[in-house]
A and B are shown apart, each in its own frame.
Chain A
């Protein structure tokens, strides 16, 4: 079982804001990175570090951290944001990584 836990599914109305959370003890020490995966495609990094976005990722994606919880917020969700989202960070040993359980985001 994963050391990083996410809610299995969330939904958001078009244009509204949704927050996806990721919980795990290692998040007290390490930042999470976040990935978007659409059906049949490889994951795409959308947020990493304290709150950084790779080139080309829209600024409606943002990240935050508090205690053992990391969050990905999509502000003004678009239909194209409907996807699976995974968090990723180091595991409890600090020597390896682990992915979260994943959250399916539905845009209504």
Chain B
């Protein structure tokens, strides 16, 4: 059974750093894209970027370039999303999702349960 399991909810202060994770199982982790999707409270889905763990090809959506870092560790089938300095506006639910090898940033067939990040002083 394909599963993406994300790390738990986080409560942080502005300026702090954070790294959240998404562990894949039940499939070949290196052969599928992983996308990170932001959903701010009451708002729509925004694709932040994608990574292909097999060769670490990483592509950021323009709005998120330079704001976050996406990485992956093939040895433990885990993808990461990290911030170096959080802002209150980073408060959101973050989902990871699996995409097919022959598409870039679309057709996400399995999703993690989401990680709620709250940034408040």
Residues of chain A whose beta carbon lies under 8 Å from any beta carbon of chain B: 2, 30, 32-33, 35, 37, 42-45, 48-49, 54, 84, 86, 88-91, 94-102
Contact = CB atoms under 8 A, between A and B. Distances in A.
B83 interface: no
B86 interface: no
B113 A101 contact: no
Interface in B72-121: 95, 97, 99, 103-109, 111-114
- Interface-central residue, A37, A43, A44, by most chain B CB under 10 Å: A43
Interface extent on B, as a size class?
20 to 34
B63 to A, nearest CB: 9
A96 to B, nearest CB: 5
Given A42-B112, A96-B50, A99-B37, A49 B44 contact: no
B59 A96 contact: yes
